[in-house]
Structure 1
Amino acid sequence: MKTRSRALNPEELQRFGEELDALRKRTVATLGERDARYIRRSISAVRWLEVAGRAALFAGAFIHTILIPAWILGVLMLGLAKILENMTVGHNVIHGQYDWMGDPQLQGKTYEWDIVATSEYWRKTHNFRHHTYTNVRGMDDDIGYGLLRIFPEQKWKPFYLLQPPIAVIFCLLFEWGVAIQDLRLGRFLSGKMSFGKLWAQTRPVAKKAGRQVLKDYVIFPLLAGPFFLPVLLGNLAANVMRSIWTYVVIFCGHFTADAETFPKEVLRNESRGHWYLRQLRGSSNISGGRVIDVLTGDLSHQIEHHFFPDVPANRYAEMAVEVRQICKRYGQHYNTGSLFKQFGQVSWRILRHSFPSRPRRKTALVKLPSMPVVDVTPEPMQQPG
């Protein structure tokens, strides 16, 4: 059964937001060498894991006696390198978490990551649209990604009866789904977009995807000569490994039993405190300690990430201690659970809502009079003194 949070009055809501703002400000003021060291060590780990993984794939191809164990080891190391590059490095750098360092290679507006999706489209669909309009129906395209009905508030169609197998396919090809998310293929198929406009939007994605395909499925396999196929399959397996893990982490962070969606009306005159509250109600954490934190790029702390998307993610674990205390003081549910528990809830939602379902009645968490619009954009981080 869903855990309820109590309603906040306007004064409580304002203090709730102010306490979270203060936590962010204190954390940003202490950013420095340990944060820079963390991201640089993460980049180094990605590079060495990729080199070791590709070397093991080649060793398995050339030395027949160790073919199978070397191939498996190569896939695991290369897959781990891709996971860490996307989650610990790419995702966090693109959010601008390390802009304060002044390193041109770690700037959120220019970083390009090792995935078929372009960082430009990701900044648009994820950094802006998803983080600004988190779980707002009709505004946040991450609600089901246009393929899945995960919440009962989404209108049911017979197509959703197919969503269990579609979800599996989407999981295996998740990086490709993310790559084409902003192309709006549904608008083209319904005649609301011209082919010319679709092609103009597709060209950057096709160019980026072409480079990725050439690297992983042509160049490196060709270097293996007659053992082209084992290396190609190893690269494919590593990419699928990354897609599966990324899918699981993202879905556990947004689509558990306690996660909520919201109508567009919540955006009307939304205050800073109300924005924080919506992020809290639409996000879920994954418990499991430092190993899970590292493997998810600290997106195991999805609540903290949605509160503070431009704060270095390696700070989320320590910030979470105070975030939980703040939530407790204001009677707000802090949604966290093991990976097994959270993904079990996600899987059940995918199965359950493939059939017709109606939303339960909800008790409003906030009863507010009309309030003036408040700018909820976080202040830019400055380089630590």
Structure 2
Amino acid sequence: MPSSASAPASSQTTGSDYARLSQLITDAGLMARRPGYYTFRITAVAVLYAAGWAVFAVVGESWWTLGVAVFLALAFGQVALVAHDVAHRQVFRRRRPTEIAGRIAGAGIGMGYEWWQDKHTRHHANPNHEERDPDVAPDLLVWTAGQARAATGLPRLLGRAQAVLFFPLLLLEGLNLHVSGVRALRSPVVKRRVLEGVLMFGHIAAYLAVLLLVLPPGMALAFLAVHQALFGLYLGAIFAPNHKGMPTFSGDDRPDFLRRQVLTSRNVRGGRLTDLALGGLNHQIEHHLFPSMPSPALPRARPIVRRYCREMGVDYAETGLFASYKQALISLHRAGAPLRRR
């Protein structure tokens, strides 16, 4: 059974519930491609990315360069969001341009494209499922009380205070992105290992070379620390509100597609600034129901999905940004409770 919130209704409904919603969305024209939007967005992000490195070169050997590190952390985060939309085929219909654009974006931030795509696809198929969703696998943290009781090593040590440690640990997420991509080169899920490796190691080599050519070693290390830490924090701040603290499943618990996606996801209210900062992923319910829907269409899909869920008696979770972080931290604290009793 789900570990929190409302359990899926044990009704006689099937995938037809999703089919009817899908028809409503299609009839509203929300699945149509948005080439103009993505041309502008990708161009703007590319300009910001290039401008950040240009300013870095101009500022040169100065501690003001740490301000550039902050800017580039945000730029890297926006590139990651573009890569996300590309991988979901929100931008291109065909596989080849999707793969080319995705690899370019991934190379720009040092991310293994095939590794991430495989991981994210498995997450979308079974969100918050303990055995099937890699995003809730016990790594450094535990996400459920059952994982806490079985924890050993670092998860057991950190789990006692994981709610307090959560945001500090996100400072390592940028580094983890690079390390995980490199480690995945040994995995069969990466089919084009040479290309994936060349792009990732090429990014690392170019990144370090630029830092050491422009800055003395100590200042270069400080830039790297600030840039990668804030990049990781930004990524974590984008993804943390989406599923943490929502129901989790295990074993054979697997409701139909509509309920599986809606009950495990949380929307974050906000305006255009929130949409920009979170790349549209604040409309997480709509995104999980329709992964290939262009992100600018998600706000228009929201009232349709919310009304349909209300009619079907399916809980539709929505809250503010800081409230979503609070709920995630409360859930982490509760999950670690068995470790505090040892």
Q: 2:8 touches 2:263 (CA, 8 Å); kept in 1?
A: no
Equivalence for 1:323: 305
Q: Which amino acid aligns with 1:234?
A: F
The CA deviation at 1:104 is: 5.6
Q: Which runs of 5+ in 2 are unaligned?
A: none
Q: 1:146-179, CA deviations, whole angstroms, 9 ceiling, x for partnerless residues? A: 3311222435235424232764564122134345
Q: Which runs of 5+ in 1 are unaligned?
A: 186-195, 358-385
- The correspondence for 2:202, drawn from 211, 223, 227, is 211
Matched, 1:249 2:238: yes
- The correspondence for 1:287, drawn from 262, 266, 269, is 269
User: For the aligned residues, what is the CA RMSD?
Assistant: 3.3
Determine the C-alpha separation between the residues in 2 that align with 1:26 and 1:235.
Answer: 48
Q: Which amino acid aligns with 1:250?
A: F
Equivalence for 2:113: 119
Q: Secondary structure at 2:319's aligned position in 1? A: strand
Matched, 1:264 2:237: no
Equivalence for 1:31: 32
Q: 1:126-162, CA deviations, whole angstroms, 9 ceiling, x for partnerless residues? A: 12x1111222221111114533112224352354242
Determine the C-alpha separation between the residues in 2 that align with 1:323 and 1:245.
Answer: 28
Equivalence for 1:10: 12
Equivalence for 2:280: 298
Equivalence for 1:234: 223
Q: 1:225-249, CA deviations, whole angstroms, 9 ceiling, x for partnerless residues? A: x556545533542332221111122
Q: 2:111 touches 2:181 (CA, 8 Å); kept in 1?
A: no
- TM-score, normalising length from structure 2? 0.81
Determine the C-alpha separation between the residues in 2 that align with 1:6 and 1:136.
Answer: 14
Q: 1:52 touches 1:74 (CA, 8 Å); kept in 2?
A: no
Q: 1:261 touches 1:282 (CA, 8 Å); kept in 2?
A: yes
Q: Secondary structure at 2:337's aligned position in 1? A: coil
Q: 1:286 touches 1:339 (CA, 8 Å); kept in 2?
A: yes
Q: Which amino acid aligns with 1:154?
A: Q
Determine the C-alpha separation between the residues in 2 that align with 1:30 and 1:201.
Answer: 30
More displaced, 154-163 or 116-125?
154-163
Equivalence for 1:52: 51
Determine the C-alpha separation between the residues in 1 that align with 2:76 and 2:181.
Answer: 23
- TM-score, normalising length from structure 1? 0.73
Determine the C-alpha separation between the residues in 2 that align with 1:306 and 1:232.
Answer: 39
The CA deviation at 1:55 is: 2.9
The CA deviation at 1:49 is: 1.2
The CA deviation at 1:295 is: 1.3
Q: 2:124 touches 2:288 (CA, 8 Å); kept in 1?
A: yes
Q: 2:144 touches 2:336 (CA, 8 Å); kept in 1?
A: no
More displaced, 20-29 or 285-294?
20-29
Matched, 1:81 2:82: no
Q: Secondary structure at 1:356's aligned position in 2? A: helix
- The correspondence for 1:160, drawn from 137, 156, 159, is 156
Q: 1:58 touches 1:231 (CA, 8 Å); kept in 2?
A: no
Matched, 1:344 2:326: yes
- 1:299–1:22 Cα change, 3 Å: same
Equivalence for 1:380: none
Q: Which amino acid aligns with 1:146?
A: D
- 1:142–1:183 Cα change, 3 Å: farther
Determine the C-alpha separation between the residues in 1 that align with 2:23 and 2:188.
Answer: 46
Who wins on radius of gyration, i.e. which is larger? 1
Determine the C-alpha separation between the residues in 2 that align with 1:311 and 1:210.
Answer: 32
